[in-house]
Amino acid sequence: MPRYIPDYDDYDEEYADDYFESHLRSKPKPKKQAENLVSGVVIRSLGHHYEVETDDGVRLCRVRGRLLQERGKETLVAVGDRVLVAPEGKKKGLIDEVAERDSVLSRRRPGTSQSVEDVILANPDQVLIVFSITQPEPHLRMLDRFLVIAEANELPAMICVNKVDLTGIEVAQVTFGLYAALGYPLIYASAETGQGIDDLRHLLEDNLTVVTGPSGVGKSTLINAIHPDLNLRVGDLRDFEGKGRHTTRSAQLFRLPFGKDTYIADTPGIRELGLYEIDPASLGFFFVDIEPFVNDCRFPNCTHTHEPGCAVQAAVAEGKIAAERYESYLRILEGEDLQEEEW
């Protein structure tokens, strides 16, 4: 039985021992009742506190000391975690238990020499990458990087092309047709006319979806078109435009009131999501069009850049892999960053 010391400001060791011997051995502390706990989802991290959405509202929660003592180096609580909370009054609580995660969006923790996973978002189901066909013009090499991040985190990715009312859907289909051919679901949408909004709502329903894309493509406007009562301001869904590799920014969830558990996740900048930690030898596996040829190369450690007998280079020459996708692969492999103005 754990030793119990009463919560007095002043006590000495002898008093504590006497109290323990005379009282607690005959009066064991009652066990925690599971029915006192409420389930919830962590929707925001605030330093050492977390906003948890439960059936009776959002509670500001701390983590129970027992969990803090038991944790290792991994992220103990992350946005998206499913938790059990011991209520404290009407608005606060203690996180008592964190359920096992089904998936994560993570990076290597900055400032450490060891490979320690830093979970940015727990339990995402999919990634929705939003680009516009114009204003701003689409940058497909940036799209390729987003897709690599999704593949590296084993998350299904979808692409939404917004503002098709400005050019017509035919222009958008020509520009993004390669990705449809690769098997990525594409939604051609217009927040202004409502085109594609029902398709987006269907894809988001009952999922925790990471919504991302470059600046100015209309992410918040699209979400408002899906559910106007959410009333996101332009820019509320932050852009992948972090300027430093290790800027500290946490994710945040917004609930959409259709389906059983429908959330969209606002996430930090792309530089935080592991692109820099991808093993160069594994990069080819995260391009869905390159991956089928990787194991057919003559050399098992082929970089697919210059080696003889490279099946990837042969596939590019034969038109089985698009030249622009192979160019994106080379740029990422060589560590070339996009220009700052292109973010």
Q: How far apart are CA 227 and CA 230, in angstroms?
A: 6
Q: How confident is the model at residue 244 (pLDDT cuts 50, 70, 90)?
A: very low
Q: How confident is the model at residue 199 (pLDDT cuts 50, 70, 90)?
A: very high
What pLDDT, on a 0 to 100 scale, did the predictor assign at position 246?
35
Residue type, 56: D
Question: What number is the average pLDDT over the span 10-23?
Answer: 44
Q: Quick one: 34-100 is in which CATH superfamily? A: Nucleic acid-binding proteins (2.40.50.140)
Residue type, 36: N
Do the Cβ atoms of 226 and 218 come closer than 8 Å? Answer: no
What pLDDT, on a 0 to 100 scale, did the predictor assign at position 278?
78
What pLDDT, on a 0 to 100 scale, did the predictor assign at position 131?
96
DSSP characters for 219-245? Answer: HHHHHHHH-GGG-PPTT-S--S--SST
If we measure between CA atoms, which residue out of 200, 183, 181, 178 comes closest to residue 191?
A: 200
User: Was domain 279-342 assigned CATH 1.10.40.50?
Assistant: yes
Domain chopping of the chain, boundaries: 34-100, 120-272, 279-342
Q: How confident is the model at residue 243 (pLDDT cuts 50, 70, 90)?
A: very low
User: Was domain 120-272 assigned CATH 3.40.50.300?
Assistant: yes
Mean residue pLDDT of the chain comes to: 82
Please state whether the peptide bond connecting residue 136 to the residue before it is cis, i.e. omega within 30 degrees of 0.
yes
Q: Which segments within 178-322 are labelled E, that is strand?
A: 186-188, 208-212, 252-255, 263-266
Q: Would the pLDDT of 27 be above 50?
A: no
Q: How confident is the model at residue 315 (pLDDT cuts 50, 70, 90)?
A: very high
Q: Is 16 left (phi over 0), alpha (psi -120 to 50) or beta?
A: alpha
Q: How far apart are CA 21 and CA 190, in angstroms?
A: 73
Residue type, 280: P
pTM for this one?
0.80
Distance set, CA 162 to CA 127, 174, 195, 202, 305 (Å):
16, 14, 9, 17, 35
What does the block give as tokens for 162?
Answer: 């917004």
